[in-house]
Amino acid sequence: QASAGSGKTYSLVKEYLKMLLCKNVSFSEILAITFTNKAAEEMKERILSMLNDIKNGRADDFINQLTCVNKKNPEQKAEQKLNEILHNYSNFSIMTIDSFLYRIVRTFSKELGISPHSEVILDIEKIYSSFVDYFFDVLLTEDFYEALKKHLMQKLSEGKLSLDLKSDFEHYLKDIYETKKLNPESLKNFTLDMENVLNGELDRLKNELNEMVTSVLKMISDAGLKCNDFLQKGKSVAAKFERYKDGKTKILKFLTGMPFKKTLQEFNDSSHGSTKFIYKYNQSLCDDLNNIVYEYLKKGNHIKYLKLLEVKRVFYTFMIVAQIYEEFFKYKTMENVIFTSDFTEKLHDFIRKDDIGFIFWRLGERYNHIFIDEFQDTSKKQWETLFPLIEEANSTGKENFCFGDEKQSIYRWRGGDVEIMIDVGKNSTIKKLDSNYRSKKDIVEFNNNFFKEIDKTIGFSVSEKNYFDIYKNPEQKTVKQESGYVYCGKLKKLEDEKKKDMDNRIMEKIIKQLDDITNQGYDYSDIVFLVRSNSDGAKIAKSLFEKGIKVVSPDSLLLSESKEITFIISFLKYITTFKSFFLAELYFYITGEIYINDYENSYEKILNSFVASAPFNDKKDFFKFISYIKRLPLSDAIEEIIGKFKLNGKGNDIFLQYFLEIVLQHSNEGESIPDFIKFWDEEDIGERKSIVVPKMKGAVTVMTIHKAKGLEFPIVFLPFLNSWKINIQLNKETVYKEEEYDIQNKKYKLISKIKKELDKDKYDEENEKTWLDNINLLYVAFTRAIDRLYFWIEENEDKDKITNMSQLVKKVIDGKEELKKFIKENDENCYFEMGKKIKNSNSIQKEEEQKDSGFSFISNSWRNKIFITQKADKLWELEDSKQAESVQKGKKIHYILSKIDYKENIEKGVNELYLEGVITKDEIEGLKEDIEKLLALEKIGNFFDKSWEVKNEVSIFDSNDRENRRIDRLIISGKKAIVIDYKTGNEEGEHLKQVKNYMEICKEMGYETKGYLLYIKDDIDKSSLKEVK
């Protein structure tokens, strides 16, 4: 049990080397399991480094701790073991659990029913992200759109609308494949047909309830009575019936809030007030009321009704998820890929039923000792898979080690199960590492007092399992006796103050503290800001940038955090697909409004709404801008978008600057807009690319608490505790329940989320786990600091119910006698202060540095640059429709052909020309017929067949004159390539020369190449295809 800062990794290495040096165990007999590849590499490096130090006589302190080692000649033993590892490095088994299980899978692929040619995907997050993008881009069906619309309207009505749909649906895929919380078989029931069945059943149950309520109220009325005649008058059961009938009481509250047993008691109560009078003179009325309600309750349909209403609440969400899963399953099968979660499931069953000795024999290894690091984050399936191996080793009297800390279990959302460590600890020898080597005295004492029995301090009622037992005795011994410093700032929310304005005020105060800190010998690189979310991190980074303070961050400077970049990408996707989905994203950016409309005719409506809100005169002006953008090089096109929509100057300049660097790189490679979008989506650049600031002195670190686990910093800031919500409804770790329902004499398995009123035990357990997740995360954050810890709370009136971390922290400080004495009663800015601010004794003489004025970015129009024009059709330079109508039909067809990959895309290409305002609506059908006729001509149609890989308007590099060449159409099949160039005029020798040049370049690339010239005439029948030899 290794609390924060207690030297867990050091202890793990020590136990590993004890095996090698004291017990003469071969390193190949030891399997060490880590949580990440990085941790595996670091552990290998530490072991090798320590062996090398012992070998060279540089580790006397370490040797003294290994009392079993022959102190006369430990160098020789260390050298022997080091050479054994280096000469047989492949047997140095320190790896992640996925890597270990993958080795077993490859060895037993036949027994597991897994093709040896399957590709194992380790980076599952990337696959989820790119597939959801692909689904929204390509597979958007009318049924899906209808479900999506209803899903959005449902969430909007509940006030729980998430704007990050992509992330939401990625999370649902994760719930299917990794956490296994969603059963794909049950998801199959979420269809349009099932929606009708469900609605029919809900109507039946609602009518049944309404009939009962109406009967009760009619019976009371017929008896000449009113609600006030009953016990509690306006609060009586009769009054509740009346309020429900009038729509003033929600169904859930009505059916669960009484409860109904009270109804029977009140109608039969002959000992109180007016009910006694009613019972005395109209006993039959009370008996009849009782019978009506009792008969209704006896059926249990009121509970069924409430449960099906919960199914209905998530129906459209799961209908979408079911469609995404179905397509995703097809994708997995088609691509022949498997996930780590797939083979963990298969291995779990295989290892339990097969002989462990046989498994090791097939692997060619025998592990007698197993080490597991970060044990608190092990998932149930992983543990059940590993346990037989540990059990086998234990049965022969061998030692196995698990290292972890229940208080640092923060990965439940990824399947981590702290109960495993708690349960295993009951039957194991426990060694507590209870000395803190990281933090200075006051920080250790603050954390000891803050977290001890924290559940009692905040008045949290725990379940029988009482997960909070891990905080019964969390105290650590202090190793560093120097004074540390803990500061809790406070800020009172002003009347009608917005959240972002309050955050800005916090940052202003923190900037002043940073000046004080740097004046006391610390560098900005000694400081870390820890946040709960990337959006908070981006907010901090921008504030620091504006003050000229550099920032490094692994996740808070992700390009996806920039709304402006998201807008640019959506705009590029729209002008290449003309899908209303992307137009809706653009509309939201400009107006902040969610656009929900019917599937039919929604495109025109949202187009009109967007144009009206954007900087365009009308639709013609908008499509003229699109046409113009599509002619420009990639980098110039994006700068024009930035300028047109005034995206710069919104405090996002550093993001745009870095984004343009990526764009410029791809522009230099001759990529088109579609090429860039493909690169952006497939590589998931927005979620993976972070603004890179070179490592240097003077750069503050901003990172999420999850990323900070295992790290330490001299100074830690947690500025936004008031943004840190503690609420089971907001927790991503949603608990689902699957239940079978009898509807119209058929059985259906349906899924819903747990509800407090209907699933109290499950809800209470999840609620306790949610609190534990949050307190564990706070523990990780508070224990990163070496010298100083700063955090901020919102000082508003005390609330009985804690909903955010700011309230929790205040309540703990107020409730602990050991901490209360440090509260600053009369300080305007400081709520709590403990310890002393000591100057940094480790600081070196600071160099004078010129402070940056911050980042700025200017988007210059390409018109103001030297621009070399290329030979382009004059069609795209026309300023009015009259000129456009006079352009030859051949040029229009030329352009449409450049937009279509296969025959099936003709309509799309023609519609795109119409949307750009180049052709009129009357021309659409005629052009479609002309192109269909053209592709029906001998040989031409074959070049638009789906057997080819197609590249339209593709750039290739001519190594002779070092210029990019653009081919109208390049089709590839295996090692065969065909170059096709479209012409609209008369045949010229220059045309042949041009295509031959293209062919030579393709041959240099290793293709067997043919070339053709397609001459397009106004009279399609006169068009011709000429092979170039």
Residue range of the domain that includes 657: 559-688
Residue whose pair of structure tokens reads 């149930």 in the numeric block? 380
533 in any annotated domain: yes
pLDDT of residue 677: 85
- Same domain? 655 vs 769: no
pLDDT at 336: 78
The number of folded domains in the chain is: 4
pLDDT higher than 80, residue 26: yes
CATH of the domain at 793: 3.40.50.300
Query: Counting every residue, how long is the chain?
Result: 1029
* 775: in domain: yes
Residue that is written with structure tokens 């650049």 in the block: 685
The per-residue pLDDT of the chain, averaged, comes to 80
538 & 597 share domain: no
The domain boundary, picked from 688, 720, 743, lies at: 688
Amino acid at 450: F
Q: Are residues 881 and 1024 in the same domain?
A: yes
Res. 884: pLDDT tops 50: no
Q: Which of 212-221, 402-411, 560-569, 953-962 has the highest mean pLDDT?
A: 402-411
For residue 654, pLDDT over 80 is answered with no
Q: How far apart are the first and last CA of the chain?
A: 77
Answer yes or no: is pLDDT of 170 > 60.
yes
- Regarding whether 978 and 958 lie in a shared domain, the answer is yes
pLDDT of 585 higher than 90: no
Residues 42 and 107 in one domain: yes
490 found inside a domain: yes
pLDDT of residue 199: 94
Q: What is the pLDDT of residue 63?
A: 83
**Of the candidates 399, 385, 301, the residue with the CA atom closest to the CA atom of residue 344:** 385
Phi, psi of 979, deg, nearest 5: -100, 130
Q: Residue 164 has what pLDDT?
A: 62
- Separation between Cα atoms, residue 376 and residue 470, nearest integer Å: 12
Indicate whether 909 and 790 sit together in one domain: no
Contacts by 102-110, CB closer than 8 A, 24 or more apart:
102/340, 102/343, 103/363, 104/347, 104/351, 104/359, 104/363, 105/343, 105/346, 105/347, 107/362, 107/363, 108/350, 108/359, 108/362
In a domain, 501, yes or no: yes
Percent of the chain surpassing pLDDT 90: 26
Q: What is the pLDDT of residues 245-283, one digit of tens each?
A: 887 777 666 666 544 444 444 444 444 444 444 554 467
Residue 916 pLDDT > 70? no
The mean pLDDT value for 349-368 works out to: 68
The answer on 610 and 677 residing in a single domain is yes
The alpha helices in 1-68, defined as continuous H runs, are: 8-21, 37-55, 60-65
Q: Kindly state whether residues 409 and 504 are assigned to the same domain.
A: no
Answer yes or no: is pLDDT of 683 > 60.
yes
Say which range, 28-37, 41-50, 593-602, 926-935, has the weakest mean pLDDT.
593-602
pLDDT at 55 over 50: yes
Residue 457: inside a domain: no
- List the beta bridge partners of residue 388: none
Choose between 99 and 15: higher pLDDT: 15
Residues 716 and 684 grouped into a single domain: no
How far is residue 729's CA from residue 736's CA, in Å, rounded to a whole number? 12
Hey, what are 647's tokens? 């995206």
Q: What is the pLDDT of residues 208-238, one digit of tens each?
A: 999 988 998 898 888 888 877 766 677 777 7
Both tokens of 868, joined, read 């070399």
Has residue 592 been placed in a domain? yes
- Top pLDDT among 1020 and 204 is at 204
pLDDT value at position 46?
93
840-867: pLDDT as tens digits: 876 543 433 434 434 444 444 433 333 3
DSSP 2: B
pLDDT at residue 106 in the model: 76
pLDDT over 70 percentage in the chain: 79
Mean pLDDT of 937-962: 77
Reported confidence tier of residue 924, pLDDT bands at 50, 70, 90: confident
> What is the helix (H) or strand (E) element at residue 867, kind and residue range?
none
846 domain-assigned: no
pTM for the structure as a whole: 0.69
Q: How do residues 658-682 score in pLDDT, each as one tens digit?
A: 788 788 777 655 568 888 888 887 7
Judged against a pLDDT cut of 80, whether residue 138 lies above it is answered with no
Note whether 618 and 550 are same-domain residues: no
* pLDDT tens, residue by residue, 277-318: 455 446 777 778 778 888 888 888 888 998 999 899 889 888
pLDDT of residue 667: 66
In this structure, are residues 700 and 550 in contact, taking their beta carbons and an 8 Å threshold?
yes
Please, are residues 344 and 178 in contact by the beta-carbon 8 Å criterion?
A: no
Flag whether pLDDT at 38 surpasses 90: no
**pLDDT exceeds 80 at position 623:** yes
**Residue 193 belongs to some domain of the structure:** no
Peptide bond into 259 cis (omega under 30): yes
CATH number at 921 reads 3.90.320.10
Q: Do residues 677 and 704 both lie within one domain?
A: no
pLDDT digits (tens, 9 = 90+) for 444-482: 999 999 999 888 887 776 666 678 888 988 889 999 999
What pLDDT sits at residue 1009? 92
The pLDDT value recorded for residue 720 is: 93
53-62, 498-507, 813-822, 870-879: segment of lowest average pLDDT: 870-879
The answer on 607 and 652 residing in a single domain is: yes
Distance CA 30, CA 32 (A): 6
Indicate the range of 272-276, 279-283, 633-637, 953-957 predicted with least confidence: 272-276
d(CA 426, CA 434): 19
Q: Residue 761 above 80 pLDDT?
A: no
